[in-house]
Amino acid sequence: MAVALAACLSLSPSRAADSPDSRGNSSQQELIQRNIERRSVDAFVWGMPAVNFQLMLDAFEKLGGGGNQVIYWSRPLNWKNQTLTPNPDTIYFTPFYDTRNGPVVLEIPAAGEGSITGSIDDGWQNPLEDVGPAGLDKGSGGKYLILPPGFKDKVPDGYFALRSPTYRGFAILRSNLSSGSDADIAKAVAYGKRIRFYPLPHESSSAAGETHFVDAFDKPYDSTIPYDSRFFDALNRFVQIEPWLERDKAMIDPLASLGIAKGKQDGALAANKASFDRLGPEARRLIQLWTEQAFVPPFNEGMHWALPVPASFPGDMADHFANPNRYPIDSRAVAYALAYFSAKHLGAGQFYLVTINDKNGNPLNGAMAYRLHVPANPPVKLYWSVTAYDHDTHALIKDMRWPSRGSNTPGLQKNADGSIDIYFAPAAPSGKESNWVPTDPHGEFELLFRLYGPEKSFFDKSWKLPDLELIK
C-alpha cells in the first residue's frame, strides 16, 4: 500500500500540470498561461506613459544623444518625427534629465525676444511644473533645479526646486513662432538656444556646465507605441532604472510573473514573447474603445470635439494622483496612447481639442474632402493650429508635404468676416492650397486643434469650434 500511495503521489503533479482534473478544471499550465495573458493586458494599460517616455529617450539615443542633453528641431517638424501627436507649428526643445548622479539645472530665458511654453515631466509624464510666461517664472526666466528621488541635502538659493519621483524625465519646451517665415523660425531657434541645461555644479565650482544640443530635424525619430513584445522590452528598461512608487507596488509581482523584475533577467521575458505579440492587438483594441468612449460628452454640446480624458484627469496627473480613492490608469493609457507630456496647469498656457469624426458622426476618411470653418476672433493670445494625424499610429501622416495649418501659417487666406476655412483632402481644392492639409487616401485620420494662450471666451464657450463638414 505504501508503495502504491507513493506512486500515486509522484504521478499526480505531472497529471495536474498536463491535463484537466476529474471535475473538468483547467490544468496548471492553462491557469498559468491565462494569468500571463491577463497580466500582460494590464501591463500594457498600466505601463503606457512609462513606455512612451522610454521610447522617446531611446529614439534620442539612436541620434547620438542621451541624458542631460537637449534634442531640438531647427525647423518645424515634418513627418519624419513619429512621436505621438506632436505640434508641427512650433520649434521644439526637449531636455532629457538624468539625476542618478545628482540634481540637474534647467535655465529658461526671460520672455521678450521670444517666449517658451513648456512643462517639466517625470518619467511617468506627471508634470513637476510649467515654465515660461505660464509657469513659475512668469516670463521672467529662471533656474529650475530638478532633484532626484530621496534628495535630502540642502537646496541652494536662487532656484525653483522640483522634486522628481523618478531619476529620469524630460521637458517639453516650445519656442513660439509669430509666423512660419524663415526669419521667424531662425529667431525662435536662436531664442530657444538660450536655454541652459547642465548638472548642478559642486560647491567648489560655480561654473555652469556646457549645454549639449542635438538637432533632429529631418531625421527619423520614432516613438510610436508597439503593441507587441517590444513594449515589454521598453517597460523592462524603465523598471530596471526607476524606483517603485508607493502607488504602483501592486504591480511588482504581476510584472515579475511576466519576466520583469528589478535587478533580474531570468529568461521569462523572452519566453513570453509570443504571448505578448498575440495579446498586443487585444490591448490596443481595448484602449481604442476607451478612447472612443472618452469623446462623450464632447467639449461643446452637439459637436464632436473633446479632450479625450475625464475632466478630473489633468488635475490627477498634476498632483501625482494624490486622491487616495482614485487612480485612473485606464484614462492615463488613453492619454499616452494618443500623446506625450502633461502640463501642470492645463489651460493656462495651452489647451487641446481632438476629433475623430465629422459633423455626421462618421470617422474621418483620408480619401474624402472636408472643410473646417474656424470662426473669426479665435480666443488665443499666441496662436491656434490644427493638425492631421494618422488615426492608426497617432503620429504625423507619412510622406505628406505638410501636416497642419494655423494662424501663424504664411499666406493663409481669410474670409471677409475674419473667419478661416481649412480643407483636409488628398488634393487641394482649387485655389485653396494655402489653406489645405493633405491626407492619405488609404487610411483614416484624426485632428488636433491647439490653442496657445487660450482666453476666457473659449472656456465660457461663447466661441465655439464647429465640426468638420464633408464636401465631397
Q: Within 13 A of 147's CA, how many CA atoms are on the CB side?
A: 13
Distance CA 466, CA 372 (A): 7
Which of 121, 59, 81, 170 is closest to 387 using CA atoms?
Answer: 81
Cell of 116: 517658451
Per-residue pLDDT, 208: 74
Exposed/middle/buried for residue 47 (C-beta within 10 Å: 0-12, 13-18, 19+): buried
Calpha distance 115→444 (Å, rounded):
35
- Which among 175, 126, 94 is positioned nearest to 452, based on CA atoms? 175
Helical H segments across 119-213, by residue range: 182-192
What is the Cβ-side half-sphere exposure of residue 171, based on CA atoms within 13 angstroms?
36
Residue 394's alpha-carbon distances to 43, 226, 246, 354, in angstroms, are 21, 12, 31, 11
472 contacts: CB under 8 Å, gap ≥ 6 = 368, 369, 425
| Residues contacting 188, CB < 8 A, separation 6+ | 90, 91, 114, 175, 176, 177
- Residue 6's pLDDT is 42
Whole-Å CA distances, 291 to 58, 85, 301: 26, 15, 18
Element (H, E) at 399: none
The pTM (predicted TM-score) of the whole model is: 0.92
CB 365 within 8 A of CB 446: no
Residue 27 grid cell: 490544468
What are the average pLDDT values for consecutive 10-residue runs of the chain, which has 472 residues? Answer: 42 48 74 95 98 98 98 97 97 98 98 95 98 96 98 95 98 93 96 97 72 98 98 98 97 97 92 97 98 96 95 93 96 97 92 97 98 97 96 98 95 97 97 97 98 96 98 82
- Looking up cell 510610436 gives 224
Domain ranges for the chain, please list them.
Answer: 64-218, 294-470
Stated as kind and residue range, the H or E segment containing 429 is none
Q: Please tell me the CATH code under which domain 64-218 is placed.
A: 2.60.40.1610
Name the CATH architecture for the domain at 294-470: Sandwich (2.60)
DSSP 76-109: S--TTEESSS--TTSEEEEEEEE-TTS-EEEEEP
Identify the CA nearest to 90 among candidates 127, 113, 117.
Answer: 117
Q: Exposed, middle or buried by CB within 10 Å (0-12, 13-18, 19+), for 360?
A: exposed
